[in-house]
A and B are shown apart, each in its own frame.
Chain A
């Protein structure tokens, strides 16, 4: 069943799904999304692709790196109702980085992916893709001053955005600094009748004293018609403070002025006495109304969630390398809701990792337990994995099981096993393949195979992971 809707703004919404009464949910193919950054995309791509050409004639020492990751998948899924689906999508992820353009501290970065289906469409169309980033960057030799122009992922104070725009940051000798950014947000809405914002801008002022403190205040505004017909307007604060050599405090808070609510808060104390022990504990909270105000996803609005709910979390994490090569990880979290549905929960997790073969390989085991007020929210998870890399061969095995307290679609267990083998054919080329078997409440049987080809080319040495 398929329906195409053209709204008043000319955006096309395609809605196609295959109802499945056995699952009780609608399983089917994806729908087309509306992107707010789409209108500026051609301009951004053109500018960012053409700008490096300005330096091309004078950049004999340019440091260029290319990376291609090709994934060929083949998977067959059998739903509890007996329906079988077979897909064969081919994905290509491409990244390119050119630094030292024209002998200047100027770089160009590109990252994007595309999909083409070789069998049944695995998405709403047989092809799909996205440009994740394409931007010019200037890194000043002093003071970590920098500028970006194009499409980039930005985390700065209250902002964690992908932006078609510009970003500038500088710090003075006194330690005072400022950053400003602005442009069109790159967002993808699947919430009917709602689009992403039309413009986003903001900045951060901060004071930093190396090794002791960094404190910042930030502002972000996004023009749009989000929930309650408002723009998104955030005030943020952040702090990193080294109280004593092994002890540091971090704080991060955001106030949503549009709905007059604290959106989120996170405060933590961390003790890092050396390279073998790391412990942290803290408090985190957020309100649905404040944090989800600008969402473009129906899972974060009524009736999926009660927008009057609030979450408060107390957490603790320990990472202890008690013997060389062996690391113990323990984490605990108490999640409290204002509302009885979904109620409160405790999550505990313990894991052990062993690193060997000159740190090229790791084996690990972990167990996680979720105890909750409501049975439907309780489950346990156990996982074990190991890798082995003799010479140019790399083998990996990963097994996971989940056990639910309450039946989901008539089942209380899920399993997945992933076996992987790879070979370094050339210094720049690695081939590998994965076999995946899954059994879960969603899929009675799910077989998947993946072939992976990774090509890494560069004109100089140096680390980029």
Chain B
């Protein structure tokens, strides 16, 4: 049996053990799929209404407060689950930046929202030469395999 088959079997065994050996799914209520009330425009602070721990992320609401700290590290939280995010954000919200081959820069789409931390403001063709040399890992997350073919004009 090859290594891939071992891994598939392992995940299958873990799945069965967890689902059937541990009395199936947790009975704790899930986070609502949609925020029950309209959200005001602009950046929302969950802590204005919510206290304690979110049923979606199972983390305190303070941890997901949309401060500059959270925005810069939101990927760390998203990789542990998206349920709480999707309660307030449509799927398209992520893909405004984490796009496939989108041609419009996020800040072009959101020119009327300068308060948003949209990347690539100004003529980013110039600044990306510097940012890309110093920290290409930050570029890779969106452009490593989901990219705009315009890149190929220079990158050959």
Contacts and interface: CB of A to CB of B under 8 A. Distances in A.
A461 B80 contact: no
A441 B126 contact: yes
B140 to A, nearest CB: 6
12 contacts: A99-B33, A172-B25, A190-B151, A238-B80, A278-B68, A294-B145, A295-B140, A362-B114, A362-B115, A400-B122, A414-B122, A438-B123
A462 B38 contact: yes
Interface stretch (A1-9, A46-54, A148-156): A148-156
Nearest to A141: B30
Contacts of A145: 25-26, 30
Contact of B42 (A295, A360, A408): A360
Interface string B69-83: 110110111111111
A428 B130 CA distance: 42
Interface string A241-276: 010010010101000000000001010101010110
A142 B75 contact: no
B68 to A, nearest CB: 4
B112 A432 contact: yes
A463 B40 CA distance: 8
Interface in B23-80: 23-31, 33-45, 47-48, 52-53, 55-56, 58-60, 62-63, 65, 67-70, 72-73, 75-80
Contacts of A283: none
Contacts of B34: 63, 99, 462-464
A208 B136 contact: no
B149 A124 contact: yes
B68 A317 contact: yes
A287 B52 CA distance: 38
A178 interface: yes
Contact of A31 (B11, B37, B68, B152): B152
A297 B36 contact: no
A111 B89 CA distance: 13
Given A286-B137, A299-B143, A377-B134, A132 B126 contact: no
Contacts of B109: 69, 71, 93
Given A178-B18, A387-B114, 12 more contacts: A65-B90, A69-B109, A122-B103, A142-B28, A196-B145, A279-B69, A280-B69, A299-B139, A311-B136, A418-B111, A464-B39, A465-B93
Given A178-B15, A238-B76, A27 B153 contact: yes
Contact of A298 (B33, B80, B88, B156): B156
Contacts of A174: 22
Contacts of A416: 121-123
Contacts of A304: 155
A345 B134 contact: yes
A387 B139 CA distance: 29
Contact of B114 (A124, A142, A398, A463): A398
A225 interface: no
B82 A155 contact: yes
Interface in A355-398: 355, 359-362, 364, 370, 372, 376-379, 381, 383, 385-387, 389, 394, 396-398
Given A142-B29, A172-B24, A178-B18, A443 B67 contact: no
Contacts of A353: 115
Nearest to B16: A178
Interface in A134-189: 139-146, 152-153, 155-160, 162, 169-178, 180, 185-189
Given A211-B58, A342-B133, A463-B37, A172 B123 contact: no
A288 B136 contact: yes
Given A178-B18, A188-B100, A250-B73, A221 B68 contact: no
